[in-house]
Amino acid sequence: MAFLGRMRKVFGRSRTPEERFTDEFVSTINRLPGITRITRTEHFGIEVRRVGETGSHSIFLGNLFAEVKHLDNAERTAAVRQFVTAMFTQPDEPEDWEEAAPRLRPVLRTSSYAQAGQVGGIAVASRPSMRHLVEMLVIDHEHRMSLVNADSLEQWGVTFDEANERAAHNLMAEGTHLARLDNGVLAVASEDTYESSRLIVPGWLAGLGEELGLDPVAVVPARDTMLIADAGDVPALTWMLDEALRVFNDHPRWLSPVPYHPDEDGIVVPWRPGESHPSHAKIRLADRSLETFEYREQKDRMEKLFQQAGETLQVGEYVLEPGPRSVTTWPRGDALLPYTDEIIFPVETGPFRVTWACAERILGTEWEEAPTTPPRRRTLRWPDNETLARLRQSSGV
């Protein structure tokens, strides 16, 4: 056993979850008829060539992996099989605008989902939406959807706005079925996998409120879930916010537990009713929960990229504490800190914490803005003793 252990240490290493997932994906594709070659590519992808085709199918696995990595083995295997079957039994993607236009649909995704696509070398067509969310476009197939990339828009000769307008028109043409729950909360029950997409159709939420005579507040905790309550119905709001956080935490295709509301111009924005509102604490928890998930996904992605590049830059952790309050720790080495409510300084005489706003007032050349999504600041050096004294004094310790 000792000899075998030394051999494994010299010649072997534990495979990463991504590598094991790629193995499973390749094994599933190999069971299909007509597959002639599968090539693994950089950035978590593969290329598949089939009999009678001159080109190959490029598949980025990052987004699918992000969706299924929290599932158990049986559920993950079933999801992979469903994805592979749908991909290789559907017709090819549309080649021109005339063919693509009627099949376009708008979708709402997290920023981390979009960033995973960019890391994979795919220029996904998207634009920023609400905080931590992006709007994207897909081609609707019978059993799946495929993301539209920037090259396709250029090939079709249309802008993102033009394509998005047509996508929204297509979705609205299909109608929306609403179900009213016993507690007065409305659920979008169209069962078309585009339930959350209606939130980003211009004027839809405001128009629904006018039609039904309510002040609508909506949550989209998962891609296939949208709940709506009247802003004046506190019991319904309370249940909806609790349910949104539960679904968000448990669903493999989580989106956002944050409540949204149309402003005076009908534009959907995060709902912020003020500290005196009974739902204020729940809304704050929803905000921080979304940030926790997004910063966690970003941290995992960055650490893998830095490891591949041989970088030693630390990626600070976003920690959610009771309150809720978010906190991160200023390290001795260079790091990328997430935006949090408070920062801990682990000094030898005893750690202390200050608010982010206080740190911004006192610190200067010790840090700088980093071009990341979600936003971070890069630490450049450990504060000197005078600066630490000012920070400690402001903390009240």
279: closest CA among 242, 307, 251? 242
Q: In this structure, what DSSP letter does residue 381 have?
A: S
Tens digits of residue pLDDT in 84-117: 777 776 556 788 999 999 999 999 999 988 877 5
Please report, for the chain, the start and end positions of each structural domain, with discontinuous segments joined by +: 16-89, 93-174, 176-271, 294-395
What spatial distance separates the first Cα and last Cα of the chain, rounded to whole Å?
55
* 145 or 184, greater pLDDT: 184
In this structure, what token pair is assigned to residue 363? Answer: 């610190």
Query: For the chain, what percent of residues have pLDDT higher than 90?
Result: 63
Q: What are phi and psi of 158, to 5 degrees?
A: -130, 155
**Exposure class string for 227-261: b at 16+ Cβ within 10 A, else e:** bbbbbebeebbebbbebbbebbeebebbbbbbbbb
User: Does residue 5 register a pLDDT over 50?
Assistant: no
Provide mean pLDDT across the span 125-141.
93
Contacts of 40 (CB under 8 A, 6+ apart): 22, 26, 46
Q: What is the pLDDT confidence band of residue 10, given thresholds at 50, 70 and 90?
A: very low
pLDDT score at 389: 95
Least confident of 36-45, 316-325, 335-344: 36-45
Q: What are phi and psi of 351, to 5 degrees?
A: -65, 150
The rounded distance, in Å, linking the Cα atoms of 84 and 203 is: 36
CA distance 243 to 231: 16
What is the 3-class SS of 288-345, one letter each residue?
A: HHHHHHHHHHHHHHHHHHHHHHCCCCEECCCEEECCCEEEEECCCCCEEEECCCEEEE
Per-residue pLDDT, averaged over 345-374, amounts to 94
The pLDDT of residue 16 is 81
Q: Give the Cα separation of 27 and 319 in Å (integer).
A: 38
Q: Which residue has the tokens 């069962």?
A: 191
Is 205 or 87 the better-scoring residue by pLDDT? 205
Q: What pLDDT sits at residue 121?
A: 56
Q: Can you give the pLDDT at residue 211?
A: 96
- Tell me the whole-structure pTM to 2 decimals: 0.80
pLDDT at position 253 is 86
Find residue 343's DSSP bridge partners: 328, 354
Cβ(374)–Cβ(338) under 8 Å?
yes
Cβ within 8 Å of residue 98, ≥6 positions away = none
Q: Which tokens in the block code for residue 138?
A: 């897909």
For the record, the structure tokens of 257 come out as 């537990």
Token pair 């559920």 is at which residue?
A: 75
Rounded CA-CA distance 123/192 in Å is: 26
Percent of the chain past pLDDT 70, that is, above it, reads: 91
Flag whether pLDDT at 164 surpasses 60.
yes
Paired tokens of 262: 């149309």
**pLDDT average, residue stretch 358-366:** 95
pLDDT tens digits, 242-271: 999 999 999 888 999 999 999 999 999 999
Q: Are 21 and 61 in contact (CB under 8 A)?
A: yes
Provide the pLDDT for residue 52. Answer: 66
pLDDT tens, position by position, 23-66: 888 888 888 777 888 888 876 888 888 776 666 777 778 778 87
Which tokens belong to 214? 């309510």
What does the pLDDT read at residue 397? Answer: 56
Closest CA to 316 of 332, 306, 331: 331
Q: What rounded mean pLDDT belongs to the chain?
A: 88
Phi and psi at 268, nearest 5°, equal: -75, 130
Backbone angles phi, psi at 125, to 5 degrees: -75, 120
pLDDT of residue 396: 67
